[in-house]
Structure 1
Amino acid sequence: MAVPAGSSVGRRIAYYRSVVRPKMTQQRLADAACVALGTIRKIERGERGVTDATLEAIANALGIDPTRLRADRDPARTRVHDALPALSAAIATYDLPDDAAVRPVHELRTAVAEAAQWRLGAQYARIARRLPGLLTELARAYHAAPTEKRAELAGLLVTAYRSADAVAYKFGAIDLSARLIELMRWAVPEAGDPVLSASVAYVRTEIFFAAQAHTAGLRALEQALDAAAIPVTAPQIAARGTLHMRAAVIAGRARNDTAAALHLDEARALADRVHEGVYCGTAFGPDSVRIHAVSVAVSLGGDHAVHALEIAREWKPSEELPAERRSGFYIELARAQLWSGLADDAFESLKAARRIAPQHTREHPWVREDASTLRRLKRADSETLTNFAEWCAAT
């Protein structure tokens, strides 16, 4: 729903830009949000309305949740949840597409790549809004294509399903997430890409995390590693490395510190052979392994949490890393800090996570749990903590 001209949204944008982010001029905001400078000026003056997409882009540029800018305070997560039935309907007919027109493959390729970037940037509202139609169109294109041309379309379906799954999983629609993962597993053999197959094995672990079947999840990842060929190219090395990273984390959740250390060592060795980057939709490299080392330490708990603090003292994730991964680092770090009695530091880490990826942070169950704990520990603390707890719906 578009916000009409003359509403208070322009004043809110001006406030966050000039007071909360005092070094951000209108030009810088326009550049960061990919919105024309004249548009920013008119919105702030209340001379023109703003669409949900533009509001979301501005909020992301300011590092805040879009709900902070809306006059009606309609929660962004409600809009995402409202879009989930359309996503479910789109995949229900994956094998029974209609006969409407489809765009050329190069345009579909661009649309899928854009959705993948939204996933890495934790822009879930955009994905929820765009993916139902894109998934329907991709299924239509796949079934209409001759057999010899289906491989690329199958690969595009896998990548698009993964973007949709990020929304379903992060917003608690676990059954929908499981269905999307099964569709990824259905389509990936047709794509004939071993690297893409490894990425599907990586994502499949979400099912085991959700069910807390950590030992079974570790077994599934180790089977995927056994089935993979010896890596030679950078994408192959990264694909194997991401499986080891994920295996280390789920081994930690299973309290198997030996397996966790083994897989983390393997991931480090592979990361040393490539540059940090996004390979087949997953960030991998030395920095990503460091972030996963924090996750492993938190997963193992107890005395291991100290290792997460040691990593954070010496290193912080670069802004070049995907927003979702950087916010995840601070969410994990906050938990280690809270366990170590560093309540103030934990709250600072949670706020850092929110600045980086508001939607990801708001929907993360650990954020709600830790915000609730901080609220209990610091009953007389500032209004900021209360506002944060209310923002993420902490009890």
Structure 2
Amino acid sequence: MPDSNDTHIGARIAEQRHIAHLTQRGLADRANVSYSLLSKVESGHKPASPAVVAACARALGIESSVLVGQPYAAEQRADRFDAPLAAIRASLENWDVPLDPELPPRPLADIAADVGAIGEARRAADYFTTATKVAPVIDELIEATHQHSGGQQERAHRLLAYAYRCVHDVVYKLGHLDLGNIVLARMSYSAERSGDPYMVILTAYLRAQSSFNTGRHEVGLRLMERSLTDVEEGARRGDRSALCVQGNLRLRATMLAARSGPAGKAQEDNARAQWQEAWETAERLGGDTQNYVLSFGPSNTLIHRVSMEAELGNYGRAVKAAETMRLPAEFGRTFPDRVGHYYLDLSRAQLWTGDRQACFDSLLKARAAAPQQTRYHPHARETVEALRRADRAANGTLANFARWMGL
């Protein structure tokens, strides 16, 4: 954890490089990153992209979270996350031991309603509500898995796996990555007992997310390939759940391919091919679909086109792709987390193309859509820091935004 939240990612890269006794040229060669770009990133003249962060972290033998400064302990303490996170850690201690409490679990239909509400909070990127509500539900569902049998036991495990999915989103986004790995282990245990193959695939989908932090993108891609094979038959039949899962697997593969190495033709071709497959799946669905496992549709696929271009370093293309984006109002109400992420990626592209006002406008839109996601997103913080360094004049609005983020 850095001593100051004002330390930008480039400065942390330089610090870790010195610890590893590497020159800039040595790290650039080992990370397969342009020496000129690394020099500008370390000096703060260019913001560090997620791909550069992942490449440097892997070359240095550390996790990306070290370079981005997560978790942001002071901000989380101010936002009262300590108690909910402690309750989550406690709930993860048990997954296979019946405790026989005095009060038996409620009917699964009642617990399912609570799980649904937790899912809504997750989609809204409301990390605090999700973290506050989920621990007692996990405890109750674990007991239900022991008290039920047959189909009811499978349903309890299915609800439990989904609750773990919601927990994973919170702890991962807040930067508690080791805790996220424990959550995935618990989720895998219940998914395998849920009688639902899509829950098993969802576990692999989330597992691939951790490769963004470790830089093992090739592992994530292989996981997506294996999962795509598992869902292929259902997608061929036109099963909507299978199509939603297939589309999301392709989108995750798109981003993994985009970050998998230095921008080159093979990397770019793979990312674009994965995105095109996702688009074809979205066209088969015919519209945005809210699914019990993974929601999918044209809007999220178009959002990922902007993200893909930004990850490939094609910032002008990312901005151009956004110019034709028209997200349905209903999509924004249903998936504020996706809208918020879209504006965060767009702001990064606008910063690189030199349009600082548009960049800040996008940050404001991201905060309006998903405030907690924006406050805790490491590359949103990096973008704000870059704006502050570029704007030598006193800008009260930007300063207020930076203070809100904890910078």
> Which TM-score band applies after superposition, normalised by the shorter structure?
0.7 to 0.9
Q: Does 1:363 align with 2:376?
A: yes
* Partners of 1:368 and 1:393 within 8 A in 2: no
Q: Which runs of 5+ in 2 are unaligned?
A: 1-73, 262-266
Matched residue, 1:305: 315
Q: Offset of 1:148 from its aligned partner?
A: 4.2
Matched residue, 2:257: 251
* Partners of 2:217 and 2:260 within 8 A in 1: yes
The change in CA–CA distance for 1:241 and 1:341 in structure 2 (over 3 A counts) is same
Is the partner of 1:217 in helix, strand or coil? helix
**Which whole-Å deviations, capped at 9, do the CAs of 1:228-253 have from their partners, x for residues lacking one?**
23212111111111100111011111
Number of equivalent positions: 320
Q: Does 1:393 align with 2:383?
A: no
In 2: Cα distance, 1:234 partner to 1:171 partner: 32
**Which whole-Å deviations, capped at 9, do the CAs of 1:10-64 have from their partners, x for residues lacking one?**
xxxxxxxxxxxxxxxxxxxxxxxxxxxxxxxxxxxxxxxxxxxxxxxxxxxxxxx
Alignment of 1:1-395 (within 5 A): 78-100=79-101, 101-230=104-233, 231=235, 232-255=238-261, 256-274=267-285, 275-301=287-313, 304-321=314-331, 322-394=335-407
User: Which protein has greater RCO, CA pairs closer than 8 Å, 6+ apart?
Assistant: 2
In 1: Cα distance, 2:311 partner to 2:181 partner: 23
Q: Offset of 1:268 from its aligned partner?
A: 0.3
Q: TM-score, normalised by structure 1?
A: 0.78
Q: Offset of 1:282 from its aligned partner?
A: 2.7
Is the partner of 2:109 in helix, strand or coil? helix
Q: Residue 316 of structure 2 aligns to which amino acid in structure 1?
A: V
Q: Offset of 1:271 from its aligned partner?
A: 0.2
In 1: Cα distance, 2:223 partner to 2:351 partner: 32
In 1: Cα distance, 2:330 partner to 2:200 partner: 26
* Partners of 1:253 and 1:300 within 8 A in 2: yes
**Which whole-Å deviations, capped at 9, do the CAs of 1:125-147 have from their partners, x for residues lacking one?**
11111111111111011122124
In 2: Cα distance, 1:121 partner to 1:281 partner: 16
Q: Which runs of 5+ in 1 are unaligned?
A: 1-72
Matched residue, 1:39: none
Q: TM-score, normalised by structure 2?
A: 0.75
The change in CA–CA distance for 1:307 and 1:145 in structure 2 (over 3 A counts) is same
Q: Residue 325 of structure 1 aligns to which amino acid in structure 2?
A: R
Matched residue, 2:264: none
Q: Offset of 1:373 from its aligned partner?
A: 0.4
In 2: Cα distance, 1:128 partner to 1:355 partner: 21
Q: Offset of 1:208 from its aligned partner?
A: 0.8
Q: Which aligned segments of 4 or more residues in structure 1 are displaced greater than 3 angstroms?
A: 73-78
Q: CA RMSD in A?
A: 1.7
Q: Residue 356 of structure 1 aligns to which amino acid in structure 2?
A: A
